[in-house]
Every structure is written in structure tokens, then in C-alpha cells.
Chain A
């Protein structure tokens, strides 16, 4: 597609439920990133994929968070047993290569609200 597509755009879930967030990167972009944006905070790195591999998962806040990427394309971020502190905008970005100077292209994000 022309840009990075994320779905759903908004998600309201009850505390304790599991949620799945989807990211469709730009075709041909080998690198994919998930960031989290909380109110008044910057963008917090969660995980990086190169192809289907995730060499850096260091930003995942807890073992309730996991992510996968299939076919070198679509990625899913899963949050199990959601907590109120998980409420945030989850942003996906992709880039043509793995270096920062390639520039990230971000999707519009998924706004997650845990009630």
C-alpha cells in the first residue's frame, strides 16, 4: 500500500482482556518497529523486526506483551490481560532498511483504552 496501515484505529477493552493490534507496513520495507505513545510522553520503543525476526524486544514492558511478523510483512502486537496502564497510542513504523537514516514511516496508530 501507499502507507503504513494500522487496525483498528481505536480499541476500547475491559481490564483483563487480550487485544491484538495489526500493522501492514509499506510493501518492500524490511524493517518494522512498534512504539508506544502515552499522554505527555515521547515515543517509547517496544520492538524491532528485520524480516520476520525480532532481534530487539528490549522495549516490551512485560511478558504480557508479544509481537510477531509473518511473511516479512504484516505484524501483530498482542497484549494479554490488559491493564489500565496499557492505555496509549500504539504506533507502527516501517523503513526500507534497518538504519535510522532510512527514515521511519509511521502509521496513524491504534488508540487503546483499557477500562
Chain B
């Protein structure tokens, strides 16, 4: 059972455009939703994270939008740059002492110059 569904699998955006990646989850106990960025040959790195008590969180060009009723959250990359080209993973976990993250399958983002 895939608990976190991520789309699209791949995305091509022109420099300066907006990249949007979507995720949907099933387990209503999830209350922590991070996004990880992975460059080729490297491990994933935490990019930004949100809790369901807010509907949006912004850090620089990166914004998470969260819709609790729809059990969906998305990553928006504004003014996309070629250096943003990477694989992006959404994930979900439960707070407190719970340690396990459930990851989506990833989105390969390519930003053309």
C-alpha cells in the first residue's frame, strides 16, 4: 500500500517558470510533511517542511501549500533555475517520538536554461 502518492514522475520547466509537484497521503495520523531534494550521486537533503496547523510555508523561492481536508500538499518552486534540476521527494510522518518517514516515489525536475 503506497501511503504517499507523488506526481508528476518528471517535470520540465523553463528557467524563470514555476515548478509544481503534488503529493497526496492516506494516513490521517501524519502531521509532519517534509520535502527532500536529491542531486545525482548525493543523498536526499531536507529542503522545507510543514505541519498541518498552517496552510502554507515559504522559504525563499520554495513554498509548501497544504490542504488538510483533501489530504494533499504541494511544493512550488518560483523563478525556477537550472540549479534546481534534481529529484524531489515528498514525505510524511507522525510527530512526537515517531521516527519513520514514508516517502513518495520522487519527481525528476529539469529546468532548461
Q: Which positions in A face B, CB cutoff 8 Å?
A: 4, 31, 33, 35, 40-43, 45, 48, 50, 56, 91, 93, 95, 98-101, 103-109
Contacts and interface: CB of A to CB of B under 8 A. Distances in A.
The 9 closest A-B pairs by CB, nearest first: A106-B43, A100-B93, A42-B103, A43-B103, A42-B105, A98-B99, A103-B46, A108-B43, A100-B32
B15 interface: no
Interface residues on B, range: 20 to 34
Interface of B: 4, 6, 9, 32, 34, 36, 41-46, 49, 89, 91, 93-106
B43 A42 contact: no
B24 to A, nearest CB: 14
A40 B94 contact: no
19 contacts: A4-B43, A42-B6, A42-B103, A43-B44, A45-B101, A50-B99, A91-B44, A95-B99, A99-B95, A100-B101, A103-B34, A104-B44, A105-B46, A106-B36, A106-B43, A107-B43, A108-B41, A108-B42, A109-B43
B45 A106 contact: yes
Given A106-B43, A106-B45, A108-B43, A101 B100 contact: no
A101 B32 contact: yes
